[in-house]
Structure 1
Amino acid sequence: MNFITTMEKIFHLILLLPGLCSLCTSLPQHRFVLVQTPKTWLEAQSYCRSKCVDLATIDDLGEMTTALTVVEGRYDDAVWIGLRKGNLKKWHWSLSDKDFYKEGERDYLHWGRTNAHNCGSQKDGKLFTTSCDTLLYSVCFDGEKPVGEQHVLSTEKLMWRVARDYCRRRHTDLASVRNKEETQRILELVAGMRVWIGLYRDPWVWSDKTYSSLRFWNADQSVYTSNVKTCVALLKSESGRWGERSCGKAQPFLCSCPLVRSFFKVRITSQSSVLELNKPEVLDEILKQLQLELGIVNTTDGFSVRWTKQPDGRVLIKEPDGGS
């Protein structure tokens, strides 16, 4: 019997048993999926919201590493993420780990003087808005050190972004000031000098409206540039660091998707007694039909189905009544 004809008869009798499908939609974790079909930022946002959760929000440096792994070698120029310029500038701490802050600690801001500048320094226990290009000493935070030794003074004068990157390479990040105790600790460490801390403000907002203060800009990116609304992408030329692009440019994009798996049991009845269903080429053809049934027509969009092997290495097991 012709191979294709036999396969068509098999596919006609494929039965998905939905009662055996386990779909855990309540899991809070998310994974990143690269969609390689180029779309504008708004088109990408719509696609991610319809297929997954939203365009990717990246919460911390660990997730940034994961995102870079997902896109590595799979794009030519840039990849959209879910960050877009909004209308209002807001203050954030550079250290983005959510578990680092207790309630109210992100907003512990005791100002000495404020102006139009977008980076934060500390002097005499007070916060000051300072031009991000100013050369200052900085205070790093090192989460690997014992409590009481976690604040480290860097005595090289640097611009704010350079100081942040220095602290991230050598320690954890620029220091956040979460409470009175940390204010006093830094005050004693710097002996009256004005120093950079991890405070900055910008107008960028995430598509899913969740909070993340992580920024991973390329070296030339200003904290605040212009009033033109633009969107953010990972740039291949900058090893995945972020840069601004016109939101109307079509390019690949990264979605945040639920970390769930659906399991289906498949029963196949064959009209050919000689067809070996566990042969790789037969299994591949069956998968193609399953993808069509499930509406997965482009596996480069990050959605796919695959077989789960039994302990003995087989995929399909013959049932006593002749089915598989």
Structure 2
Amino acid sequence: MRYRNPPLPARDAVADLKAERREFLQLLGVVALLVIGLLFVLDRIALFAAPRLPFAWEMQVARTLHLDQMGARAMGGSRPVAPARQREVEVALQARIDRIAKASGVPPEMTLTAHYIDNPTVNAFATLGGHITVLQGLLSKIEFNEELDAVLAHEIAHVQHRHMVKRLSRGLSMAAALGLVGIRSPALNRWLIGDAQQLQQLAYSRDAEREADTTALQASQAMHGHTGGVARLFERFSALQREQGKAAGEWTAFLQSHPLPAERTERARASGPPRALTPLDAVLKAPAAKR
């Protein structure tokens, strides 16, 4: 008797194709979930690790981005300034920054450096490595020492609380990891973190702005015995935000990078009664040197 294999059942090619497609999509979904989970974990690690990086390392990164040479090249519309005027203003700003840093409890290893740019834009900003830049446009609008101290204290607080490091946590953590394996490249750092122009336009979260406000209020109270400079500055900004004319336009850059909800003005007012303010030091109020 000859044995014969039983006939195989007819295969449904369409059903097989659908089953394979379903399995592929399921596998793709699992891979996507794993990738999303990995990115989330890496993001949390970066957010945790970046603010804990040594400040000396942050300063080193700032040097690779040439943030220690802030000047006219960093902003369009800047004008060349006489070296004597540059030194004069930066020395005056540095003295104020040092006093505010002491009043704010900034750690001694956290070096803060003043920079001055002769640019008509009304603005001031802090960048990586403790570099704090003030533009001539802001100095020409500030009327009182306490107002300028309020601006500087706010920017110092962003450095002190590592707000920029937290904001750039992903890029900084990646740069740190690459540095540990010997890969150090200014061009790569600029790609991961940004250049001077991008960093000066960086916006902070509401929580970061609130924390900087609190530190500025505390520093003003410690230095002047009142917070009138902060309150007056915020009141002026609030009024400018409500305006639509030329005056408000002059402050556009500052108001865009320093958003001012009404609650911030109220907090400043509630910190204490108004006091007499002192006119801005002549060396800072003086117009830019003739060219």
Question: TM-score when scaled to structure 2?
Answer: 0.23
Return the structure number with greater strand share: 1
Question: TM-score when scaled to structure 1?
Answer: 0.21
Identify the structure with bigger relative contact order (alpha carbons < 8 Å, sequence gap 6+).
Answer: 1
Return the structure number with greater helix share: 2
